């Protein structure tokens, strides 16, 4: 009897835990049903659907996120999203991925996020369908390696537009469809935003200046947004990976390098594992995820070691590479910015006075210049005055004779 009583007493905590888990599961199920019926979105009482939006979903990290989101399950195995909007410039790649995954919930959306017009089309579609955006993953990004003076101005503009402006605008566009006026969000089913930054945003990077600066913006913007939306139970997670095994390196170097070199080749991350860890961190409510031990070490070092010391080490061990994107063809002369070409050709650019280029005919060596000066000096002393008119010449002769 005593043994039986002891077993009953020991079973009480497990029974209580099972009841709490069951109640929590029922509550999550209830909210899932409520979410897919009627809620107030933007001040209107509407029927809605729960969707996920993933940018840059045609390749790389974005494609890995798309594959992981398709596998996500909610309470009792139900799918948490009725539609998954995959946004990218290459719609054909998304269609291929959709056929490969065999999921009809994937909705390919062709859009160049550097274009304000395409962003407006996405905003109009949200306004027309009025869905609930349960997940927003800002994964689209671009960057080009090389010194700023060697990069085209359009390349720097696109880097800032896609990595900074587009991310901030799209987040603002989606927020009205995430912030609910009714208390339906809990920690289990709250909307989530995942912004892909980079460990490059921890420190300035000569030779990758615009990209590193744009990722520093993503980190700062996302961390501030986390605290702005915390009262709405909306989680904003900033993901900071290092080098990732995608096609980004080839694009960033203009096709010259397809793989990372130097110390970076030993810390390359797998995009699928990165996507899984990011979703897990978002579901647990984490504010920032620095992926990989090496990147965590860099993150700590950036807060302890003076930036000037780190920059000196970068200059010594990782010198600035020339803009390989700027190589027009293999084996050709490196890229020269258009402005510099125009200046060297004698044209004026934006008010800058033209400079006449030296040619083989006009170029003069220093020795020839000195020789020309030495020869021309005595000649100047013996130069005769120009002849005057006959009348003036005759009168001049007379005056000379009389004198």
Measure the CA angle with vertex 349, ends 343 and 355; round to 5°. Answer: 35
Contacts for 312 with CB less than 8 Å, ≥ 6 apart: none
Q: What is the CA radius of gyration of the chain?
A: 34
Helices (H) and strands (E) in the chain, counts: 14, 9
Are 248 and 242 within 8 A, CB to CB? no
Tokens of 195: 């912004």
Supply the DSSP string of 274-326, one letter for each residue: HHHHHHHHHHTT-SEEE-SHHHHHHHHHHHHS-HHHHHHHHHHHSPPPP-GGG
Cα–Cα distance, 328 to 361 (Å, whole number):
29
Query: DSSP labels for 205-221?
Result: -TTSHHHHHHHHHHHHH
Q: Are 218 and 201 in contact (CB under 8 A)?
A: yes
Distance separating the N- and C-terminal Cα atoms of the chain: 157
**How many residues are there in the chain?**
403
Nearest Cα residue to 280 out of 68, 90, 112, 116: 68
What tokens appear for 265 in the block? 């080749």
Q: Select which of 177, 211, 226, 335 is catalytic.
A: 211
CA angle 170, 175, 181 (to 5 degrees): 165
Taking alpha carbons only, the member of 280, 243, 285, 241 closest to residue 262 is 243
Beta pairing class for 132-138 and 192-196: parallel
227 catalytic? Reply is no
Task: Yes or no: say if 185 and 234 are a contact pair by the CB < 8 Å rule.
Answer: yes
Task: Write out the two tokens for 363.
Answer: 């170029």
> Which active-site residues does the annotation give?
211
């Amino acid at each position: 009897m005593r043994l039986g009583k002891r077993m009953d007493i020991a079973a009480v905590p497990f029974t209580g835990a099972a009841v709490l888990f069951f109640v929590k599961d029922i509550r999550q199920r209830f909210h899932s049903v409520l979410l897919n019926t009627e809620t107030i979105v933007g001040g209107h009482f509407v029927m809605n659907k729960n969707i996920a939006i993933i940018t840059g979903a045609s390749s790389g990290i974005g494609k890995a996120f798309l594959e992981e989101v398709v596998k996500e399950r909610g309470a009792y195995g139900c799918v948490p999203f009725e539609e998954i909007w995959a946004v990218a410039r290459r719609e054909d790649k998304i269609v291929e991925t959709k056929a490969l995954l065999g999921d009809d919930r994937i909705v390919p959306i062709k859009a160049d996020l550097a274009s304000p017009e395409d962003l407006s089309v996405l905003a109009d579609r949200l306004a027309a369908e009025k869905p609930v955006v349960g997940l927003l993953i800002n994964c689209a990004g671009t960057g080009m390696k090389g010194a700023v003076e060697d990069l085209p101005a359009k390349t720097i503009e696109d880097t800032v537009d896609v990595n900074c402006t587009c991310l901030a605008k799209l987040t603002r566009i989606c927020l009205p469809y995430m912030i609910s006026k009714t208390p339906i969000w809990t920690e289990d089913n709250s909307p989530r935003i995942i912004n892909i930054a980079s460990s490059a945003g921890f420190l300035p990077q000569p030779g990758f200046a615009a990209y590193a600066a744009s990722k520093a913006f993503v980190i700062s913007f996302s961390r501030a947004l986390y605290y702005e939306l915390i009262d709405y139970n909306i989680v904003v997670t900033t993901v900071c990976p290092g080098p990732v095994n995608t096609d980004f390196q080839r694009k960033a170097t203009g096709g010259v390098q397809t793989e990372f070199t130097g110390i970076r080749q030993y810390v390359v991350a797998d995009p699928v594992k990165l996507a899984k860890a990011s979703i897990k961190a978002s579901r647990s409510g984490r504010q920032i995820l620095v992926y990989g031990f090496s990147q965590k070490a860099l993150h700590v070092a950036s807060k302890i070691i003076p930036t000037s010391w780190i920059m000196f080490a970068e200059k010594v061990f990782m010198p600035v590479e020339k803009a390989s994107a700027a190589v027009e063809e293999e084996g050709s002369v490196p890229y020269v910015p258009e402005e510099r070409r125009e200046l060297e050709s004698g044209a004026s650019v934006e008010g800058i006075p033209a400079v006449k280029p030296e040619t083989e005919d006009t170029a003069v060596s220093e020795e020839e210049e000195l020789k020309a000066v030495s020869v021309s000096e005595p000649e100047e002393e013996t130069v005769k005055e120009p002849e005057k008119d006959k009348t003036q010449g005759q009168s001049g002769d007379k005056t000379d004779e009389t004198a």
